[in-house]
Structure 1
Amino acid sequence: MSDRTFLEEISIRSIGVIEHSTLEISPGLTVLTGETGAGKTMILTALNLILGGKSDSSLVRKGSERLVASGSFSVPKSLQDSFEEHGLQVEDGQLILTRTVNADGKSKATSNAISVPSSALAAASENLVEVHAQAANLNMTKAAKQRELLDRFGGKELHSALVNYQSELANYHELKSRITAMKKSIDSRDAQLSELREFAAVMGKLKLERGELHEISNEIGRLSSVEDLRLAAQNASSVIEEEESGSLTTLGITRKSLDSVRAKDPQIEELYQRVSEAFFLVDDAKGVLASYIANLEADPARLDYLNARKAEMNSLIKKYGGSQSADDELIALIERFESSKNAIADLEGGDERLKELETELVGIKKKLVSAAKSLTSVRSENAGKLSKEVTKEIQQLSMPHTSFHCQVQSADYNALKESDFTALGCDEIAMLIQGHKDGPLVPLAKGASGGEMSRVMLALEVVLAATHPVGTYVFDEVDAGVGGKAAIEVGRRLHALSQHAQVIVVTHLPQVAAWADSHFVVTKNSDGSVTESNVRKVVKEDRVEEIARMLAGMESSTSAREHATELLELPLSKR
């Protein structure tokens, strides 16, 4: 997992029932267990805040002024740029995200102690953590989510096909907009041509450059103050160079006085070095001032030229510009001038130009249709692969006769409508399951129970994890509705997923918890609070006790301990 991020530590203070807790999380499979209401899901709530989720003052622990949630992530060099693009600083391969929420509802987000908007955390979370809960299973039944999952599975090839399609779609809409605008402007063509030609002539004569107005204003300011600048520079030079009491003379005497005794005391040596540094800096400044005074000349002709050119620019902005700053308006006018040639050509061409553009539009639409077909083809190919791989995973999750089908339903390419061209192509994606070989294909929303949906989602994530850059997967009781042999298989597949990425699971199932590489137990105090001591990592006998409690629902059960030991000793070869 060296090419992926992973969560190293999560620290929580004053969230819900949790007073204070810090978890150091290792790579591999980590499980969180504990009695209902002990605060396991509060840990995931904290993680949601860290990743830019919506803040809520009701999460602040009663009696506290604020809650604090902080997560430390390890980030490989290959991914650092993607986080820095969002304004998040990665230092020594570590990204620390912190979120505070006050009791009055105000929240603050920081990245390595630097304030950032919470939206930056949300944008960065796409490459950090993917959270799955029961709500995520419901979301999976939506067509948009199903297309997103297929496109994610398709990787670079599908992304390239989608980008190509979107480029052709943008070209098509841009040219179509030009044609529509041209049709509307034919009646007022002469007036527009006259205005455009006048504007282009003025702009062509001035030959404006981006940033020129700012540079001119600075130069005018300097040339208008030549005498003031010269007087100030000469005064400064005389203060430095005055033979008896000038700063250079004073520093030289001081330096000479210290030089005679500097070997006798390290403090004097340090002062000597500082005075020497100041002496050489002032001496250097003397030379720079002399050069500045020598080159400082009044240039009335240049000043008149600059004032005249600035006046021309301001006049142009007043006539053709809007309400932005002068520099922004100048850039807008330059951009308008750069596109005026095409606009004039469109208007001068009249009906003939319109016909040329409509012919060009036909050619662009052919390219668009071709790009859409290519996208459909790549999606269809990947849908077949995804169906086979997810079916294989599902059947290993105690659903031996169930198969998964991802279908690409494309528009009729022989009778395309304008509305068929969406931003994401001309396809609708449908994910269905088939309960047995000759059974009907049923949409996930109608054909899968809660437990089956959890297993389908898990199977999808196991397949997608090998290609998607997310470093940490979090599952919040997605094993609900699963038990017995199926629960063991869920644990096995979660363990398989953890070979590609870090996996954190909140579970009530001992058959799942038994597969963990790290196991944390959350317990409550008698007053309902959870402190640092109530979140502990369990190993060896303590882990046997926790698995036994999960099996029997009570502590000190001999048969449960035996069963727990059996689960935990499941041979690695069978994992």
Structure 2
Amino acid sequence: MLIELNIKNFAIIEELKINFTKGLNIITGETGSGKSILIEAIGIILGSRSSREFIQSGKEKALLEGVFHIEDSSTIRPILDEYSIDMDEDNILIISKEIYLNGPSLSRVNGRNITLSMLKNITTKLVDIFGQHEHQSLLDSSNHQTLVDSFGDKELFELKEQIKDYYQNWSNEKNKLKNLSINSSERDREIDILKFQIEEINDVRLTKDDESNLEIEYKRLSNIEEISNLMEAALLHMTNESFDSPSISALMNRSISIMNNAKKFDENIIQFYKRLIDINYEFQDLYREVQNYLENIDIDSERLNFLSERINIVNKLKKKYGNTIEEILIFRDKSQERLNELLNFEKEFEKTNLKILELENKLKSVSEKLTEKRKIISKKLEKDIKNELSFLNMTKVDFKVDFGESSIFTSEGQDKIEFLISTNIGEDLKPLSKIVSGGEMSRIMLAFKSILAFSDKIPTMIFDEIDTGISGRTAQIVGEKIHQISNNHQVICISHLPQITALADSHFVINKVILENKTRTIINRLSEEDRVKEMARLLGGVDLTDTTLKHAYEMIEMSKKIKKNN
């Protein structure tokens, strides 16, 4: 769960720290106080794109940090291991985001730099945010199949993987057939080109080792004169004394003579003496080998010219067929495969057609199984959604998962799923986008989240604007449902309704203040006494009266009883 949130130099937040708790965390505050900025910051920590515009005026960077305690690491541990991210024995995960004014943003998990896609793979296992984006996604029927599948079991996901494999192979074969289906003149033209390319490469008789061998030998032969001069100088230093410096051989012999005298007085020196003698023998052998190397060294102009020409030919091939010899050979092999296909056109055409038919039969068979599986899931989903919506004061609702017919193969099957709803008795079922209000939309999405909450392992759920378009008894019921979810998940909820706020386990209030002629956002966790005042503000506005204070106190006390039974 999210145990701590730190924000610095972000929009109108100069520095802010929040310690969240288990259960239901409610955040309230006046319009424009910074509640949406808080959700924006959490979203960026979780992997949403950031912007330099969020950096506070006059600052070089903004810092966002979320501290998570992982109670069950079974789902996230494999991902952390894949990314080589360590987690200490306390199972603490620190996710930070640094947004720079003059540089790229940086994301870190436990101090390790990671990409945005890596971050999202981690955080989707930690937090589920419910806001306006989720409202819109539920209205889009193209998302409905994914939502149905999210309630699926292992068998459903195995069927989906099968379809993906078959579909990929089917697409490949269809493309192959398309490439084969060209007219005879185009085929003849391509055959001529392929033959020329293959012959041009084969004439050079390339091997994979040529890449390094050619360069090494050319480098040696083109620098043979320099090599000869340098080795002669080295040989000179080994044996010939100059006016101001003795040779290595002379120095070696002097050392042997000195050590020979010294060993008469200490037997321990004998071992050094013998080793020096051995080194001298090795040195003399080395001298003879270098001398022999120099005697046999030869400037082979003919070989050098051959290598130069061959390197030029290889470089020309690289410009046409690949950056390395290995890539050139791969190009040749693929060209040969394509040539064989074209030369055996009728046979390949028939063979590919048979493969396509075989894969289409497999796709159809698995797609039918997947459809049946989805229909079983959908029947239960329809029942569960209607039960949840009935609890959420939508008692006359009818909900159906509609399966439209489609003959088109896709990597997800052949289903065209759309959610249909009727909110009043006697009304026809219609698409969600054409019938529901804002308040109904919030409750429908909450119904989905409530069902998912019993099966998924995401520890933290964040609700933003869940109370849009509702009030009175409906707001009370929505609050009870959110608190019910918080029995098994940490819930962070931004609300402006007292019916929901009264059910908080921890209540935070966010305020906008003027400090040093600058607007700043602060947040505080409320005591029981302050909770009553904030509840009274939500009930009756800025001016608190004995009536609103009493009403607020009674709502909190009543909510305590509801929470015990929830």
TM superposition score category, shorter chain reference: 0.7 to 0.9
Tell me the alpha carbon deviations over residues 331-390 of structure 1, each in whole angstroms, 9 at most, x when there is no partner: 433433454554243222232332332233222222232233333222222222221222
Give the Cα separation in 2 of the matches to 1:472 and 1:310. Answer: 67
Is 1:392 matched up with 2:380? no
Q: Which moved more, 1:93-102 or 1:388-397?
A: 93-102
| Cross-structure match for 1:430 | 418
Give the Cα separation in 2 of the matches to 1:28 and 1:115. Answer: 31
Give the Cα separation in 2 of the matches to 1:422 and 1:13. Answer: 46
* Contact 1:88–1:116 under 8 Å retained in 2: no
Shift, 1:205, TM fit: 9.8
Which residues in structure 2 correspond to 1:477-492 (within 5 Å)? 477-492=465-480
| Cross-structure match for 2:165 | 167
SS of match in other structure, 1:525: strand
Shift, 1:163, TM fit: 2.5
Which residues in structure 2 correspond to 1:501-540 (within 5 Å)? 501-526=489-514, 529-530=519-520, 534-540=522-528
Distance 1:107 1:207, change over 3 A: closer
Which residues in structure 2 correspond to 1:309-458 (within 5 Å)? 315-316=313-314, 318-319=316-317, 322=320, 326-327=323-324, 330-340=325-335, 342-411=337-406, 416=407, 420-436=408-424, 438-458=426-446
Tell me the alpha carbon deviations over residues 207-227 of structure 1, each in whole angstroms, 9 at most, x when there is no partner: 845x98369867987998999
Shift, 1:206, TM fit: 5.6
Distance 1:565 1:350, change over 3 A: closer
Give the Cα separation in 1 of the matches to 2:403 and 2:171. Answer: 25
| Cross-structure match for 2:452 | 464
SS of match in other structure, 1:569: helix
Which residues in structure 2 correspond to 1:45-84 (within 5 Å)? 45-75=40-70, 76=73, 78-82=75-79
* Contact 1:479–1:487 under 8 Å retained in 2: yes
**AA paired with 1:565?**
I
Distance 1:550 1:306, change over 3 A: farther
C-alpha RMSD over aligned residues: 4.4
Equivalent of 1:563 in 551, 554, 560? 554
**AA paired with 1:429?**
I
Give the Cα separation in 2 of the matches to 1:515 and 1:316. Answer: 77
**AA paired with 2:362?**
K
Shift, 1:395, TM fit: 1.2
Distance 1:469 1:343, change over 3 A: farther
Shift, 1:185, TM fit: 6.5
Give the Cα separation in 2 of the matches to 1:48 and 1:381. Answer: 35
Distance 1:497 1:150, change over 3 A: same
Tell me the alpha carbon deviations over residues 373-422 of structure 1, each in whole angstroms, 9 at most, x when there is no partner: 333222222222221222221111122222322222131xxxx3xxx234
| Cross-structure match for 2:243 | none
Give the Cα separation in 2 of the matches to 1:62 and 1:320. Answer: 53
Shift, 1:451, TM fit: 1.0
Equivalent of 1:108 in 105, 127, 138? 105
Distance 1:447 1:212, change over 3 A: farther
**AA paired with 2:328?**
L
| Cross-structure match for 2:4 | 9
| Cross-structure match for 1:153 | 151
**AA paired with 2:151?**
F
* Contact 1:376–1:410 under 8 Å retained in 2: no
| Cross-structure match for 1:254 | none
SS of match in other structure, 2:160: helix
| Cross-structure match for 1:281 | none
Shift, 1:471, TM fit: 3.7
Shift, 1:99, TM fit: 2.7
Tell me the alpha carbon deviations over residues 493-515 of structure 1, each in whole angstroms, 9 at most, x when there is no partner: 22232344332110112222233
* Contact 1:88–1:111 under 8 Å retained in 2: no
Give the gaps of 5 or more residues in structure 2: 238-246, 256-278
**AA paired with 1:407?**
D
SS of match in other structure, 1:187: helix
Q: Which moved more, 1:37-46 or 1:467-476?
A: 467-476
Give the Cα separation in 1 of the matches to 2:30 and 2:20. Answer: 21
Tell me the alpha carbon deviations over residues 174-223 of structure 1, each in whole angstroms, 9 at most, x when there is no partner: 112212212226435456546656766766996845x9836986798799
SS of match in other structure, 1:55: coil
Give the Cα separation in 1 of the matches to 2:387 and 2:213. Answer: 67
Identity of aligned residues (%): 26
Give the Cα separation in 1 of the matches to 2:318 and 2:510. Answer: 68
Distance 1:158 1:220, change over 3 A: farther
Equivalent of 2:129 in 128, 131, 143? 131
* Contact 1:492–1:515 under 8 Å retained in 2: yes
Shift, 1:50, TM fit: 1.9
**AA paired with 1:139?**
S
Q: Which moved more, 1:396-405 or 1:76-85?
A: 76-85
Is 1:498 matched up with 2:495? no
Shift, 1:490, TM fit: 1.4
**AA paired with 2:3?**
E
Shift, 1:311, TM fit: 8.0
Shift, 1:459, TM fit: 0.8
**AA paired with 1:22?**
K
Give the Cα separation in 2 of the matches to 1:230 and 1:192. Answer: 58
Give the Cα separation in 1 of the matches to 2:106 and 2:476. Answer: 40
Distance 1:57 1:195, change over 3 A: closer
Give the Cα separation in 2 of the matches to 1:475 and 1:451. Answer: 14
* Contact 2:52–2:101 under 8 Å retained in 1: yes
Give the Cα separation in 1 of the matches to 2:312 and 2:30. Answer: 73
Equivalent of 1:180 in 178, 181, 184? 178
Give the Cα separation in 2 of the matches to 1:72 and 1:182. Answer: 57
Shift, 1:484, TM fit: 2.3
* Contact 2:503–2:556 under 8 Å retained in 1: no
Shift, 1:138, TM fit: 2.6
Give the Cα separation in 2 of the matches to 1:535 and 1:437. Answer: 46
Q: Which moved more, 1:187-196 or 1:341-350?
A: 187-196
Distance 1:523 1:555, change over 3 A: farther
**AA paired with 1:133?**
G
SS of match in other structure, 1:99: strand
Give the gaps of 5 or more residues in structure 1: 1-5, 247-285
Give the Cα separation in 2 of the matches to 1:203 and 1:467. Answer: 61
Shift, 1:455, TM fit: 0.7
Distance 1:172 1:541, change over 3 A: same
SS of match in other structure, 1:421: coil
Tell me the alpha carbon deviations over residues 211-266 of structure 1, each in whole angstroms, 9 at most, x when there is no partner: 9836986798799899989999xx9xx99xx99xx9xxxxxxxxxxxxxxxxxxxx
Q: Which moved more, 1:514-523 or 1:384-393?
A: 514-523
